[in-house]
Chain A
Amino acid sequence: MTARTGRPLLYLSYGQDMALLNTSAKRGWTLVLAIGAVALPFLLTDDLLVVLATACVASIGAIGLNIVTGYGGQVSLGHAFFLGIGAYTAAAISGDPDSTRLIGFGITSVPIWLLGAGLVAGLAGLIVSPLAARLRGLYLAVVTLGLVFIGEHIFKHWKHLTGGVGVGRPAAVPELFGIQFAVDGEVFTKAQKLYLLMLVLLVIFGVLARNLVRSRVGRALAAVRDRDLAAEVIGVDVTRYKLIAFAVSSFYAGVAGALLYVMIGFVEPGSFNLALSVQYIAMILIGGVATISGSVLGALFITLLPRVTRELPAVLPFISSSSGSGGITVFQVETILYGLLIIGFLIFEPRGLFGIWNRLRTYWKSWPFSH
């Protein structure tokens, strides 16, 4: 360690270079970020906390999509399908066992239904992945899009599982060591508890994913993405790594799907449509392709966007907050903004928010020299 005291960026081994927090700045800021994230529930109002908790869950889903699309280069528009599988598995495992209308097993412990949801979704991903191993590029994108439609159809008609269109079913019940997360407690409110739970889960799954992508698997995936033929030549088993990418990504999607509806407390079978898939694609594109922190940034951005646009009518009087009355509504502004952001980011900042952050960092690091 003595060699590092004077020169913090001098790495003497591969391990040091590849460490999660390889610079002192990263160590410091991660600590600040962690303290800030834990302190937030005591500073913000409950409705904002719910939005942030949703963003944490969306981050998990976005990380999953980034593993297959960002790192593995396999474009998947089928994320909504796997989110749906996760949501319904979790809801069924923790559902009311006495109900005659819906399937339920009454196991409300978080780790059990969370793992169950992830594993079932991961298994579905494995079943689908032979197609992915055979197809490339846009063919794969369209096929995964087909999955969403088939999944939506199944969800709409399997009434014992999903409750059917317009009716839906209660989402999974979050309970851990006797603590009920979805009801107000004596010390913490519902929103505070849920936020902390989701934050902890995000950290766990985020670190897991980060470890995956900086290991052998991650390097193999990047090789497949950059040129699958070359990867095969240097000894990467392309089919096997495509399977792994799909299974892991679907696992993450399942976990995210299970948690996503806990905040609302309700799952509707119509919600797992193409728009949801596109939303996740937008998250990783806006956040930054093939970065874990980018996925989190993108998820935060997309989840907070409606919240921000909802404040617009107060500032810009020509936007109305309800449909029916003339002029453009908030929802239309929101959708248009969302589409324009996707286009704009891809044209002007293909590396997303992470790229912007990277540029800022380099600027200050090399200041006062421009390059």
Chain B
Amino acid sequence: MNEFVATVVRGLGNGSIYALLALGFVIVYKSMRVISFAQPAFMMAGALLVSYFVLSMNFFLAVVVALLLTALLGAGVERLALRPMIGKPVFVIAIITLGVDIVVRTVVNAFIGLDIRQMGDPWGLQQVDVLGVKVDQRHLATLVTTLIVVAALFAFYRWSRTGLAMRAASSDQEVALAQGVSVGRVFSLSWALAAALAGLAGVFLSTGIGLEQNLWLTALKALPVIILGGLDSLGGAVVAGLSIGVVEALVGSYGGDLHPIFGGDFFLVVPYLLMLLVLLVRPYGLFGTKEVERI
């Protein structure tokens, strides 16, 4: 039983990372109707900046500074590469973000180098006893931080003026423009937010195990998450993120007895299989808005 609970907590920890990443995807999607494939690059950039800043300052301060810079990077990318493409087919814009990802990630990789970079975080791989169950501190920290960030984000969208503007722009850009919402600012802000969230996910992903070049593949797991939760649903992203994390952890722990043809790392493809299954039944994900077609 204890092992089961520990596995679930590990899954929730990883799941919160997916949720953070997925939130970034959803925020960009809501504002631009585009899936930004540049999120992995922002994730790596955020983690990389922290790993350099901790050499000269406190970890938490380093995270704040690094995330601000990552947000700036996101807004800059949007201004340079995405703004000229407004009104073009979404597929084209999505491919541009792929190009951005390749460029930014290559630069980041050059700074990471071939070795694992330490994050200098206070948690490391230490464990803590919660009601008799041993869980990694970093997983708890991730979960708690994610919950706080998600609550803040929802409050921002629900109650702040800018959040209202963002919701308006997402539901109809032209009408929002006519009401005096600066849609361009909304785009910048969305990209900045998405980049910062990805950066935060990157920081938590590389706490304990350290930052290395291949970590970017984890960011792609947010794709099945957003498809599962529905591309335009913030709540869906969180729910789907946490559940995929838990399912993945459970398969990782207990799936070893499956047929050897699945291989020991079968849990790595579980998110994608889940996504395929759900899509066969519900083409717009669990919480996504069904597209209404006008003739």
Do the two chains bind?
yes
**Chain A residues within 8 Å of B100, by CB:** 339, 343
Interface residue SS majority, chain B: helix
Q: Does the CB pair B272–A146 fall under 8 Å?
A: yes
Q: Does the CB pair B81–A343 fall under 8 Å?
A: yes
Interface residue? A39 (CB, 8 A): no
Determine which residue in B35, B272, B275 has the highest number of CB atoms from chain A within 10 A of its CB, and name it. Answer: B272
Q: How far is the CA of A336 from the CA of B101 in the complex (A)?
A: 10
Q: Does the CB pair B110–A328 fall under 8 Å?
A: yes
Q: Does the CB pair B279–A332 fall under 8 Å?
A: no
Contacting B at CB under 8 A, from A307-348, are: 323, 328, 332, 335-336, 338-343, 346-347
Q: How far is the CA of A135 from the CA of B273 in the complex (A)?
A: 16
20 contacts between A and B (CB under 8 A): A139-B284, A142-B35, A142-B223, A146-B272, A149-B272, A153-B263, A153-B265, A153-B268, A156-B263, A157-B261, A157-B263, A274-B220, A332-B109, A336-B102, A336-B107, A339-B102, A339-B103, A346-B95, A347-B81, A347-B96
Q: Does the CB pair B283–A139 fall under 8 Å?
A: yes
CB contact between B90 and one of A138, A146, A229, A328 (< 8 Å): that residue:
A138
Interface string of B274-295 (1 = CB under 8 A from A): 0110011001100000010101
Q: Does the CB pair B99–A343 fall under 8 Å?
A: yes
A residues contacting B by CB (< 8 A) are 75, 131, 134-139, 141-143, 145-147, 149-150, 153, 156-158, 229, 233, 274, 278, 281, 285, 323, 328, 332, 335-336, 338-343, 346-347, 350
Q: Does the CB pair B34–A138 fall under 8 Å?
A: yes
Q: Does the CB pair B223–A145 fall under 8 Å?
A: yes
CB contact between B35 and one of A138, A338, A347 (< 8 Å): that residue:
A138
CB contact between B99 and one of A153, A156, A339 (< 8 Å): that residue:
A339
Q: Does the CB pair B262–A285 fall under 8 Å?
A: no
Q: Does the CB pair B103–A336 fall under 8 Å?
A: yes
B residues contacting A by CB (< 8 A) are 34-35, 81, 84-85, 88, 90-92, 94-96, 98-103, 106-107, 109-110, 114, 220, 223-224, 226-227, 231, 261-263, 265-266, 268-269, 272-273, 275-276, 279-280, 283-284, 291, 293, 295
Q: Does the CB pair B283–A346 fall under 8 Å?
A: no
Given A153-B269, A343-B96, A346-B99, do A137 and B90 touch, yes or no (CB 8 Å)? yes
Q: How far is the CA of A229 from the CA of B263 in the complex (A)?
A: 43
Q: Does the CB pair A135–B96 fall under 8 Å?
A: no
Q: Does the CB pair A135–B279 fall under 8 Å?
A: yes
Given A156-B263, A339-B100, do A134 and B94 touch, yes or no (CB 8 Å)? no
**Chain B residues within 8 Å of A156, by CB:** 263
Q: Does the CB pair A229–B103 fall under 8 Å?
A: no
**Chain B residues within 8 Å of A137, by CB:** 90-91
Q: How far is the CA of A332 from the CA of B34 in the complex (A)?
A: 28
**Chain B residues within 8 Å of A229, by CB:** 293, 295
B244 vs chain A, min Cβ distance (A):
12
**Chain B residues within 8 Å of A323, by CB:** 114
CB contact between B231 and one of A138, A233, A274 (< 8 Å): that residue:
A138
Having A157-B261, A350-B92, one finds 8 other A-B pairs with CB under 8 Å, namely A138-B34, A139-B227, A142-B226, A143-B279, A153-B265, A339-B100, A339-B101, A343-B100
Q: How far is the CA of A304 from the CA of B99 in the complex (A)?
A: 19
**Chain B residues within 8 Å of A135, by CB:** 279, 283
**Chain B residues within 8 Å of A343, by CB:** 81, 96, 99-100, 103
**Chain B residues within 8 Å of A131, by CB:** 276, 279-280
Chain A residue at minimal CB-CB distance from B114: A323
Q: Does the CB pair A150–B269 fall under 8 Å?
A: yes
**Chain A residues within 8 Å of B92, by CB:** 346, 350
